[in-house]
Amino acid sequence: MQTEIVRKDCGAEAAAKEAAAAAEKAAEEAKAKTAEAECEAPGTKPAEKPAVTTPAQTQKPAETTKKPAATTPATTTKPAETRKPAATTPAQTQKPAETTKKPAATTPATTTKPAETTQAPETGAYSVSAEEREVVRLVNEIRRSNGLSELTLNEELSRVARIKSEDMAKNNYFSHNSPTYGSPFDMMKRFGISYRAAGENIAKGQRSAQAVVDAWMNSEGHRANILNPSFTRIGVGFTSNGYHWTQMFIG
């Protein structure tokens, strides 16, 4: 009797252990299922916040055209100022040797007034030079070619003409009117030269008889004296001091 009872107690204990183990297992399984359900059930575990998707930064295309630089209109260089030409006075070309002075007007002698008797100044020995004679020769050649009679060389008139040339050189003037003797006509009278018509040509700077005659012939007034048909005598005076020449005509 006592042995059976012990056996019954062991079986119940084992059964109880088994039942407890089964219950534990069932509880574990239930727990596991619950945990699984928690993982899978939608909305039970909030979905992880998706990473904020910044839209892919599309690289800004390289600027193909540069913003045109503010176009200031090209400053056109001011054309170089053309300087106002300096007031151009034409280059002063040295005045060529004054060839001729306007010939002294041919004055007919005044018949009412007697010739002045003032003594001519003393001049010492005098003779007509080769240059003076050459002027007379050239003048007569020109007169002949123009159908006029030749002029006679008058030595006294030549002496007066020489004095006039020397006076111009000495007193540094170039004029028909002498500060010493006055007009050519006054001078002729002062030296005792009488005339009905008279004239004078003067020149300065020519080195030869040919040059001075050419200069006179290229001047209308002087040419008129050389070709004046009223004149019959000529006197020529030359000085190499400044190359002054004087022609005196009377008729």
pLDDT digits (tens, 9 = 90+) for 193-243: 999 999 999 999 999 999 999 999 999 999 999 999 999 999 999 999 999
pLDDT of residue 196: 97
Mean pLDDT of 113-139: 70
Task: Note whether residue 108 is domain-resident.
Answer: no
Chain Cα centroid distance, residue 11: 145
Query: How would residue 89 be classed by pLDDT, with cut points 50, 70 and 90?
Result: very low
Q: Total domain count for the chain? A: 1
Q: In whole angstroms, what is the distance from residue 37 CA to residue 44 CA?
A: 9
Task: Note whether residue 39 is domain-resident.
Answer: no
pLDDT of residue 143: 99
Query: How would residue 141 be classed by pLDDT, with cut points 50, 70 and 90?
Result: very high
Mean pLDDT of 160-185: 98
Bigger pLDDT: 45 vs 156: 156
Whole-prediction pTM: 0.56
pLDDT of residue 88: 27
Task: Note whether residue 246 is domain-resident.
Answer: yes
Task: Note whether residue 188 is domain-resident.
Answer: yes
pLDDT of residue 25: 76
Q: What is the mean pLDDT of the chain?
A: 71
CATH of the domain at 151: 3.40.33.10
pLDDT digits (tens, 9 = 90+) for 150-162: 999 999 999 999 9
Q: In whole angstroms, what is the distance from residue 8 CA to residue 27 CA?
A: 28
Query: How would residue 109 be classed by pLDDT, with cut points 50, 70 and 90?
Result: very low
Q: In whole angstroms, what is the distance from residue 150 CA to residue 139 CA?
A: 8
pLDDT at 32 over 60: no
Task: Note whether residue 37 is domain-resident.
Answer: no
pLDDT at 41 over 80: no
CB 161, CB 235: distance < 8 Å: yes
Please give the residue range of the domain that contains residue 225.
Answer: 137-250
Query: How would residue 126 be classed by pLDDT, with cut points 50, 70 and 90?
Result: confident
Task: Note whether residue 117 is domain-resident.
Answer: no
Task: Note whether residue 91 is domain-resident.
Answer: no
Task: Note whether residue 141 is domain-resident.
Answer: yes
CA dihedral 173, 162, 203, 139 (to 10 degrees): 170
Q: In whole angstroms, what is the distance from residue 151 CA to residue 133 CA?
A: 12
